């Protein structure tokens, strides 16, 4: 029997404890849910609900939730939620006063807050957002009750009849407002009106001594009930604490035992896993070290090869620069000139070419070569006699009897397919062929040079058999200072020149030199410009115009390039080259969100001279 009683007691304790824990869990769940809700009217309502549930248990916590609801309702302009927040705060202060001997401070706070709440309820009723029944319920259950209690306390306990009379007057006003709402609801029958008037008259005429007795009696009853309630609550609380403590102790012991058992098993499993992982990590570390050594060895090999390749390319650069015409030679024939040469990589696919030729002798040699090709004996004999006469004339020139003719100047700016090493190989091929065409074959007119260059490239690269498409764009000029003429022919690349403070462009033919094409022969257009003093000429590849930069990471473009040439044409040639370099750096270094660090796009070549 003793064991049965113990079991019954434990079961009763379990049910009682589980009920308390379930209620606490419900409030805790609601509190957790409120924290995650967005700042909307629903969150205000939930905060008010938590405040209501806690208003009889944890006054400070309940008051905190009611004030949170008040603050959020003000932020989102939720008037109904604000009214409820004030109403809950008033009720909480009333409940707090009921638990104290000195009720007056809490009751006064409740009256002040109830007054705010009533103003909001009245405004909501005017807008039709709450019913008059809700206003009546709040007025009767909250406002009138707290003012009644305040008047009684000041009258019977504090003997402050002035304040008691003031609260009775306010109470009279609240009864009048109550009567107004009753009439508006259609409940203003003669009986109700009479009752309201009677209540009002009783409140105004009631004898102070009778009120004193009634207040004392009510206070005694309230004090007795409060003491009994406190005793019952204390006894219940003590029993609950003991029972809950017992259950918690038993539960903790059981949980601790289970946790220790599980931890022991888990620890063994973790130790085994850690041992396996440590072994695997050691194997992986060994593999990583092996691969690291292999990577380091490969990196060193790659670095050595890169160094060798770079050294070879640097050597190729020196060879390429040695093949280019010395700038002193160019300046000797064209004192006012510059060459702006800027490879993208170490070696370049752009190159410039320069030669001086005696016009008469080269013309005769070219004609003889052409006659030999055509097997015309008469033409050959006639040209041979002219050559003999020219040789005799040249001998006289050496003796000082006649004036030597000023040599013609051939200047070329070439842009080969590609850049870097492939472009450099192509530039060497082009340089060699140009030497052969002009100095050996004595072809000196730009359009004929381009045509012969095209055929030679196709032949030497065997492009018909190999389908090789490499070639070059070109801009070639022949300058005759005696006759004051300049001949130009171009493959894609134009000739820019400035005369009378205006810039002019002669476009090249829309066909390159070399590469695959359907026909065998390719002809280029010859343009002739009459030279005038002060004219400036510019031969250029497309590298400068195609350089990316500026605020929008776009190409420099021909329009800007021509405008720049016009702006600098009055400067010295040395200054012009420097300005071109500075402007290019500014264009490439211009801050841009698309490409903050820009590289040179292509090889750049600009040759400029003034006559």
For residue range 72-95, what is the model confidence (pLDDT) as tens digits?
878 887 877 877 777 777 777 777
Q: Which of 421, 423, 514, 513 is nearest to 468 (CA)?
A: 514
Query: For 251-266, b where at least 16 C-beta lie within 10 A, e where not — what string?
Result: eeeeeeeeeeeeeeee
Q: What is residue 236's three-state secondary structure?
A: helix
Neighbours of 405 (CB within 10 A): 15
Structure tokens, 176: 């009048």
For the stretch 431-483, pLDDT in tens is: 999 999 999 999 999 999 999 999 999 989 888 888 888 899 999 999 999 99
What was the pLDDT predicted at 456? 93
Q: Which two tokens stand for residue 198?
A: 């009677």
Looking at residue 148, what is its pLDDT? Answer: 64
> Could you check whether 27-127 and 325-358+405-610 share the same CATH topology?
no
For the stretch 340-358, pLDDT in tens is 999 999 999 999 999 999 8
How long is the chain? 611
pLDDT digits (tens, 9 = 90+) for 528-575: 999 999 999 999 999 999 999 998 889 999 999 999 999 999 999 999
Residue whose C-alpha is closest to residue 355's, from 477, 512, 228: 477
Q: Where are the alpha helices (DSSP H) in 99-207?
A: 104-126, 132-138, 145-152, 161-184, 190-205
Check residue 310 and give its pLDDT.
Answer: 81
Tokens of 162: 């002035």
Beta 527-530 vs 485-491: how paired, if at all? antiparallel
pLDDT for position 3:
42
What CATH number was assigned to the domain covering residues 325-358+405-610? 3.60.40.10
User: Six-digit token pair at 382?
Assistant: 């006639």
Both tokens of 265, joined, read 């098993």
54: pLDDT confidence band, cut at 50, 70 and 90? Answer: confident
Angle subtended at Cα 301 by Cα 296 and Cα 303, rounded to the nearest 5 degrees:
90
Q: What percent of the chain has pLDDT over 90?
A: 33
Worst-scoring range by mean pLDDT, 69-78, 116-125, 193-202, 595-604? 193-202
Quick one: which H or E segment has residue 353? strand 350-357
- Tell me, what's the pLDDT at 349? 92
Helices (H), 127-160: 132-138, 145-152
Average pLDDT over every residue of 486-490: 98
The pLDDT score that the predictor gives to residue 206 is: 62
> What is the 3-class SS of 535-603, one letter each residue?
CEEEEECCCCCCCEECCCCEECHHHHHHHHHHHHCCCCHHHHHHHHHHHHHHHHHCCCCCCCCCCCCCC
What separation in angstroms does the CA of 183 have from each of 27, 140, 178, 191, 194?
40, 15, 9, 12, 12
- DSSP 8-state class, residue 406: P
* CB-based contact 522:489 (threshold 8 Å): no
Asked whether the beta carbons of 114 and 86 are under 8 A apart, the reply is yes
Identify the DSSP state of 414: E
Higher pLDDT, 285 or 335: 335
Classify residue 492 as left (phi > 0), alpha (psi -120 to 50) or beta. left
Assign residue 597 a region (left: φ > 0; alpha: ψ between -120 and 50; beta: otherwise).
beta
Q: Can you tell me whether residue 605 is helix, strand or coil? A: strand
Strands, sheet with 495-499, edge to edge from the N-terminal-most edge strand: 337-342, 604-610, 536-540, 495-499, 502-506
Structure tokens at 482: 């005696």
Which CATH architecture describes the domain 27-127?
Alpha Horseshoe (1.25)
Among 206-210, 385-389, 436-440, 506-510, which is the least confidently predicted range?
385-389
Q: Are strands 548-549 and 554-555 parallel, antiparallel or unpaired?
A: antiparallel
Q: What DSSP character marks residue 415? A: E
Position 189 scores a pLDDT of: 46
Tokens of 369: 């070569």
Bigger pLDDT: 36 vs 326: 326
Q: pTM score, two decimals?
A: 0.51
Output the average pLDDT for the chain. Answer: 79
- The shares of helix, strand and coil residues in the chain, as percent rounded to the nearest 5, are 65, 10, 20
Q: Is the pLDDT of residue 257 over 50?
A: yes
Confidence of residue 266 (pLDDT cuts 50, 70, 90): confident
Whole-number pLDDT of residue 394: 46
Q: DSSP letters along 463-498, please?
A: HHHH----EEEEEEEEEETTTTEEEEEEES--EEEE
Query: What does the domain layout of the chain look like in residue ranges?
Result: 27-127, 325-358+405-610
Instruction: List Cβ neighbours of 305 (8 Å cut-off, separation of 6 or more).
Output: none
């Amino acid at each position: 029997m003793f064991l049965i009683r113990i079991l019954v007691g434990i079961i009763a304790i379990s049910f009682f404890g589980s009920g308390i824990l379930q209620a606490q869990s419900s409030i805790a769940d609601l509190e957790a849910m409120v924290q995650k809700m967005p700042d909307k009217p629903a969150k205000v309502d939930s905060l008010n609900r938590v405040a209501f549930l806690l208003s009889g248990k944890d006054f400070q916590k309940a008051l905190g939730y009611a004030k949170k609801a008040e603050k959020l309702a003000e932020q989102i302009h939720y008037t109904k939620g604000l009214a409820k927040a004030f109403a809950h705060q008033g009720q909480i202060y009333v409940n707090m006063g009921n638990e104290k001997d000195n009720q007056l401070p809490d009751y006064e706070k409740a009256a002040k807050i109830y007054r705010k709440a009533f103003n909001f309820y009245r405004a909501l009723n005017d807008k039709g957002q709450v019913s008059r029944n809700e206003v009546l319920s709040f007025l009767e259950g909250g406002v009138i009750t707290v003012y009644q209690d305040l008047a009684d306390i000041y009258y019977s306990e504090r003997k402050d009849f002035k304040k008691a009379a003031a609260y009775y007057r306010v109470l009279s006003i609240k009864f009048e407002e109550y009567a107004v709402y009753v009439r508006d609801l259609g409940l203003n029958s003669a009986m109700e009106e009479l009752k309201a008037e009677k209540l009002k008259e009783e409140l105004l005429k009631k004898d102070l001594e009778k009120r004193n007795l009634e207040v004392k009696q009510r206070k005694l009853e309230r004090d007795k009930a409060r003491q009994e309630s406190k005793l019952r609550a204390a006894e219940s609380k003590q029993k609950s604490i003991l029972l809950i403590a017992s259950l918690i102790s038993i539960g903790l012991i059981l949980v601790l035992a289970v946790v220790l058992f599980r931890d022991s098993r888990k620890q063994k499993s973790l130790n085994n896993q850690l041992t396996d992982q440590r072994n695997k990590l050691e194997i992986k570390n060994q593999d990583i070290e092996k691969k690291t050594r292999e990577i380091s060895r490969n990196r060193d090999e790659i670095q050595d090869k890169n160094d060798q390749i770079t050294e070879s390319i640097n050597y190729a650069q020196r060879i390429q620069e040695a093949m280019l015409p010395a700038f002193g030679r160019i300046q000797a024939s064209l004192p006012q000139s510059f060459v702006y040469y800027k490879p993208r990589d170490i070696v370049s696919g752009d190159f410039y070419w320069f030669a001086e030729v005696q016009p008469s002798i080269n013309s005769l040699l070219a004609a003889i070569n052409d006659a030999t090709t055509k097997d015309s004996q008469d033409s050959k004999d006639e040209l041979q006699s002219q050559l003999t006469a020219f040789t005799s004339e040249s001998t006289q020139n050496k003796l000082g009897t006649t004036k030597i003719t000023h040599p013609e100047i051939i200047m070329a700016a070439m842009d080969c397919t590609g850049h870097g090493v492939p472009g450099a190989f192509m530039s060497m091929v082009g340089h060699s062929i140009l030497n052969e065409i002009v100095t050996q074959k004595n072809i000196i007119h730009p359009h004929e040079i381009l045509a012969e260059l095209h055929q030679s490239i196709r032949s030497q690269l065997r492009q018909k058999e190999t389908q090789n498409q490499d070639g070059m764009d070109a801009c070639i000029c022949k300058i005759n200072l005696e006759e004051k003429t300049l001949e130009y022919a171009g493959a894609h690349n134009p000739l820019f020149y400035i005369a009378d403070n205006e810039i002019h462009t002669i476009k090249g033919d829309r066909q390159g030199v070399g590469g695959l094409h359907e026909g065998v022969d390719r002809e280029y257009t010859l343009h002739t410009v009459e030279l005038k003093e002060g004219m400036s000429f510019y031969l250029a590849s497309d590298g400068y115009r195609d350089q990316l930069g500026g605020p929008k990471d776009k190409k420099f473009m021909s329009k800007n390039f021509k405008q720049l040439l016009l702006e600098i044409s009055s400067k010295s040639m040395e200054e012009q080259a420097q300005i071109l370099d500075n402007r290019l750096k500014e264009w490439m270094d211009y801050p841009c969100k698309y490409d903050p660090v820009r590289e040179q796009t292509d090889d750049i070549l600009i040759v400029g001279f003034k006559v």
